[in-house]
Structure 1
């Protein structure tokens, strides 16, 4: 099936999936939302939308002036994180490319303040954070968050929404396998319809 893609700069009328407010990487994984009818709403569909998404999560200043290359990097990391979440949920080995992408993002920025040298005042330590490195810092933060999620106790609660065609991931609470009331209602309606239309067996 070929998806028709819509680009939006604001989230649709859909609450964050359980766990997405706690884990930025889960919010990132869920930033391309599959809707009935073969539509996908991509919250990172444009550089401006990407800038807004990062700004709302304190990962970039409002005036970061994102370029398409930056948005592409974030969308690429999203797909690698989704691949790792899918592997974890299915109990399958991780794709090597996904692991490499996360580790590359983690090591792209310094984890400790670097030694700098001012000609007048001498040596000092500081973490570089010019505008050109905003995306690298955002990618590293999101990759670290994904690593924490996948290796922490909440990984056991990680699941995919059980309502077709939804593609969002969530942290399960009890037996709930839906990311929203809307998806739960849709799944229950689909089950009821399947029961009504099931052929009678002799």
Structure 2
């Protein structure tokens, strides 16, 4: 059973998340000290809440487990692509295929409609059953924008284990939050204090 998540346990958005929704999406799961783990897409209800808070679904979308599973799967594929970009390795073919499949899920062109009173107009349809496809496409497109932009040079993994989040590096900052930076500095200080030179 999923434990309720408190706002205090959820780290603040990582640097770059305000520019790239996909960064916030891949960071919707995070490892914490003490073997704790937060997954903001862990249940259909929390997935619906995350989508609503990010403008990707209405509050009453009624996200089901199959939808949440698809979103978690896309998140893992994007994490694999981010990891490949950060480490300079080739992209996993399965991850690329999954992202390209998500990109193709929603039409990008507004369709032509005809109103009996006002005549022709264009609009992008968004019936309830298409909400997930549109969310997947939007997240995949945003990730593709990040990975192909100059900002991709600043993409890095948080340098404070066990944190698993990504961020856009500003200067020399290697941590996704003040909490992670403090933890990394404390770990380095502890290592210096306990390290004894060999005789």
TM-score normalised by the chain length of structure 1: 0.91
What SS does the corresponding residue of 2:37 show, helix, strand or coil? Answer: strand
Residue 93 in structure 1 maps to residue 86 in structure 2: no
For the Cα contact (< 8 Å) 2:28–2:40, is it kept in 1?
yes
Query: For 1:121-165, what per-residue CA distance to the aligned partner results, in whole angstroms no more than 9, with x for missing partners?
Result: 987643221011001001100000000000001101000000010
Distance across 2 between alignment mates of 1:123 and 1:156: 45
RMSD: 2.2
CA contact 1:149–1:155 (8 Å) conserved in 2:
yes
Please state if 1:102 is matched with 2:91. no
Residues 42, 194 of structure 1: CA spacing in aligned structure 2 closer, same or farther, 3 A cutoff?
A: same
Q: What stretches of structure 1 of length at least 5 have no aligned partner?
A: none
**Which residue in 1 is equivalent to 2:53?**
56
How far the C-alpha of 1:7 sits from its partner, in A, is 5.5
How many pairs align?
A: 199
Aligned CA distance change for structure 1 residues 10 and 100 (closer, same or farther; 3 Å) = farther
Task: Flag the 1:136–1:26 CA change in 2: closer, same or farther, 3 A.
Answer: same
Question: Equivalent residue for 1:32?
Answer: 29
Gaps of 5+ in 2: none
With over 3 angstroms needed to count, the CA separation of the structure-2 counterparts of 1:27 and 1:148, relative to structure 1, is same
